Amino acid sequence: MHVHTCLSPCGALDMHPSAIVRAAAEAGVDGIVICDHNAADNVAAVGRAARAAGCVAVAGMEITTEEEVHLVALLPDETAAGALHARVAAALPGRNEPAAFGEQVIANEDAEVLGFNPSLLAGATSWSVGRATEEIHRAGGLVIAAHVDRERFGLVGQLGFVPPGLPLDAVEVSCATPYDAGRRRYAEPLRLPAVAGSDAHDPAAIGRGLTYLHLDHAAPAEVHRAIRAEGGREVLGGGRPMEDLALHILDIARNGAEAGATRIDIRVDEDPAADVIRIVVADNGRGMDPATAALALDPFFTTRQTRVVGLGLPLLRQAAEAAGGGLTVTSAPGAGTRVEAVFGLGHLDRAPLGDLETTVLVLMASHPDIDLAWTHRRGRRDYSLATADVRAALDGAPLASPAGLALLRAAVRSGERALADTADSPAGTEDQP
């Protein structure tokens, strides 16, 4: 979510519609939300480029209020984006000065320049936060508090609080904050879903922050339904792929699922006494011969069709070695694969653990027939989760149903909360009654 084009004065000139769609495909992203500052001139062109490439592009806009708060408008279609664009344009003061603020390029899907938006898109509208929210809803859109964790242009950073009764539909956690921390601090108190966005202004940043959604099929209307939690659609989680360790775990587990695994065992061991964190992902998939296992650590080798390079294992090894640890892969044809990554727990360069809730929910929503055995240990305490037990509790309801996902979410949150309480307890008291 949250991608700018060359229309935004702060956007790179190579962020034209076809380049954005190409970068999204290379990052393995299924969909993007176009959110230029105070305008929607390039929404239609990105939509055409995305449809041609089999990608979903959701119409959107990032509106700056008179308080200099950024709100993302997630709109139902290009027509609604055009209507809101006209109303926002009327609320913008002044004209752009390209030498001071940058060019505001209108481009088509063939990377041709069609013109320049003359309005001062870098400026603030004359709309208050409340008025902007009303206008977005009037256009049939959803209102998301953009990068709510940021001091500059974030809702809380600018106002110091969330206005009581402000009808937000979601909050966005930026890449500057671990998704789980942002969700707990900003979304849960408001009882709103948290989405993650890259706020990409250049092609390389696309996919840096992702939101995982449970949809019936890939379409803009489905994205809206997921954020509203309608009809079994929902926001599963988010984070920073290949940076948060939780999403490394998800990537490796999905490799196992794609290799035909029917069972995946995941264990996360945090040992403060030894200053080590150990992550093990083992599956019973088809496995690899020694030559293929060696190639699996090559970033330019992949068997996937969703991206042109295989960054999962190579980046995980790089992250482990940067934190004073290492990575081992054990595999054999017909015997499955076991990946073990070790990190220095307190190492300054260790990547954050990230949102393990996202790992479990996305894996089970996308592969509900797999038997998952999950354990997270911290010190001398742990919690475990087995999908066989969850299925039994559901009494026939599918694991990927709203009831199943709610049960999984509750189980992981309860376990993680207990481990967090253990981490906060005085040293040496964690096993005392």
Based on the domain organization, do 282 and 138 belong to the same domain? no
Return d(Cα 294, Cα 306) in angstroms, integer.
21
pLDDT, tens digit (0-9, with 9 covering 90-100), for 357-385: 999 999 988 999 999 999 999 999 999 99
pLDDT in tens, 232-286: 999 999 998 868 999 999 999 998 999 999 999 999 999 999 999 999 999 999 9
- Which pair of tokens denotes residue 196? 């993650």
Same domain (yes/no): 160, 260: no
Q: Which of 198, 220, 238 is the last residue of a domain?
A: 238
Which residue, 184, 214, 238, sits at the end of a domain?
238
Tokens for 388?
């066989």
Please give the angle made by the CA atoms of 40, 157 and 63, to the nearest 5 degrees.
Answer: 10
> Quick one: 190 and 256 in the same domain?
no
Asked if residue 162 is part of any domain, the answer here is: yes
12 found inside a domain: no
And the tokens for 15?
A: 């962020």
**pLDDT of 308 strictly over 80:** no
Model pTM score:
0.90
Residue 3 lies in a domain: no
Of 430, 431, 387, 380, the residue nearest 411 (C-alpha): 387
* Residue 71, pLDDT above cutoff 80: yes
Provide the pLDDT for residue 425.
52
What CATH number is attached to the domain comprising 158? 3.20.20.140
Per the model's pLDDT, the better-predicted residue between 269 and 312 turns out to be: 269
Residue with tokens 């890449």: 175
Average pLDDT, the chain: 91
pLDDT band, very low/low/confident/very high, at 302 (cuts 50, 70, 90): low
- Total domains present in the chain: 2
Q: Is residue 5 part of a domain?
A: no
Please give the pLDDT value at position 1: 79
- Assign residue 300 the CATH number of its domain: 3.30.565
Is the pLDDT at 104 greater than 70? The verdict is yes
DSSP tag of 94:
S
Rounded Cα distance, 169 and 70, in Å:
14
CA distance 186 to 429: 31
The parent domain of residue 45 ranges over: 17-238
Residue 7 lies in a domain: no
Q: Which tops the pLDDT comparison, 157 or 310?
A: 157
Q: Residue 224: which pLDDT band, with cuts at 50, 70 and 90? A: very high
Across 163-191, average pLDDT: 95
Regarding whether 268 and 202 lie in a shared domain, the answer is no
Q: Are residues 231 and 273 in the same domain?
A: no
Q: Which of 238, 259, 293 is the last residue of a domain?
A: 238
Across the range 8-14, mean pLDDT stands at 92
Same domain? 157 vs 257: no
273 and 368 in a single domain? The answer is yes
The answer on 291 and 220 residing in a single domain is no
Whether 11 is covered by a domain: the verdict is no
SS3 for 221-236, per residue? HHHHHHHHCCCCCEEE
Tell me the one-letter amino acid at 248.
H
> Residue 204 in contact with residue 144, Cβ under 8 Å?
no
Domain-located, residue 430:
no
Pair 122, 107 in one domain: yes
> Which pLDDT score is estimated for 422?
67
pLDDT at site 162: 94
Residue 413 · residue 357 · CB < 8 Å: yes
What average pLDDT score do residues 101-119 get? 95
pLDDT higher than threshold 50 for residue 430: no
Contact 29, 116 (CB under 8 A): no
Question: What integer is the mean pLDDT of 16-26?
Answer: 94
Is residue 215 included in any domain, yes or no?
Answer: yes
Mean pLDDT of 76-83: 96
* Strand-pair partners of 265: 282, 373
277-296 burial, b at 16+ Cβ within 10 Å, e below that, comes to: bbbbbbbbbbbbeeeebebb
Nearest to 139 by CA among 192, 71, 78, 219: 78
Tokens of 297: 């650590």
Residue 38 sits in the same domain as residue 176 = yes
Q: What per-residue confidence (pLDDT) applies to 289?
A: 87
Do 311 and 221 fall within a single domain?
no
pLDDT-derived band at 433, boundaries 50, 70, 90: very low
Confidence label for 311 from pLDDT (cuts 50, 70 and 90): low
Q: Report CA torsion sign: 427, 178, 68, 87.
A: negative
Residues 172 and 301 in one domain: no
